[in-house]
Structure 1
């Protein structure tokens, strides 16, 4: 675990009025994490940045009662799906906002992150100004997704995997293609679809997608 402090600053020194106390950066690519942490501290966007490379390490740090008030989470870690961290935060006294930082700009990935409960989504290809806009927006209690700032999505009862299935369903994928895309068996996909239909009170795929859009899940 690495901790970065802005040059010439300590936790008790005044920084930007909207700067975060502590950002937890979860990324298993050390060079990427170091570069992003360096940019955050250079722009004085946070008083400190802690970097970890796994979901277990992230959960452990958060459970220590740290000052983390923003989590930047890679969508795909080594052998782990980043979105799997979100349900593991439920037991925290205060759950910090989670922004997905990913090399993928695919719409289905963005929708899955949003529906799973992420507060924002920023492509790794985005520049410095986009990073600043995102962090300002999150600090103001707003969401940040491709296309600009958007309101936070109402809480849903879907798991991250169900959110992915719903996103592909909305794109018109049949069950077999959903299986192939997510590496799931047909039985598992049908189980997820049954749960999604139940949450929405839907009786068919068209009604499910329509209700999900009305709820703001898509």
Structure 2
């Protein structure tokens, strides 16, 4: 949500986009079965829906869409001064292409096999100006907001993953590879892989240096 002004009083107006008439019918039934939602209409593509709505802007567009068609969603963002929020049902919810193509700040990305209750909750969430994202996409967005840091040599390094930060914290606590593997329920080889990645990203040459750099850059709290 960019301006914090997306507020709805009363039922959420929902439009549907899906290439399959069967899917459109199923999503329409889902919307109409919930008293908090109002079904405005459906179409096989964004342009057709925009023409059919004739200037009427839905609060939320629920769409079952192919990745290559994601750019067409921009058509709906031009319907008015308050573009609709989007709930996208796709095969690959972790697709960076879909994330980059989203025409609205309030949006949800769900797998096509999402449960009806998940879809309804997501519609209500985006109508309130929130985003609903898969954990992997959320992690990448958070990582992208971390200020650029530098290694000991002065070169910028990649942000550590949440699991690498866990491993680094246990390293700071003095745990060995075997104990780290046991606590995280992973193999020792996986621990070694994470350590190698941590060393490479921080520019560390050993465990002690990795912990010191982790403290310096705020990955390890003392």
TM-score scaled by length of structure 2: 0.49
Give 1 or 2 for the bigger CA radius of gyration: 2
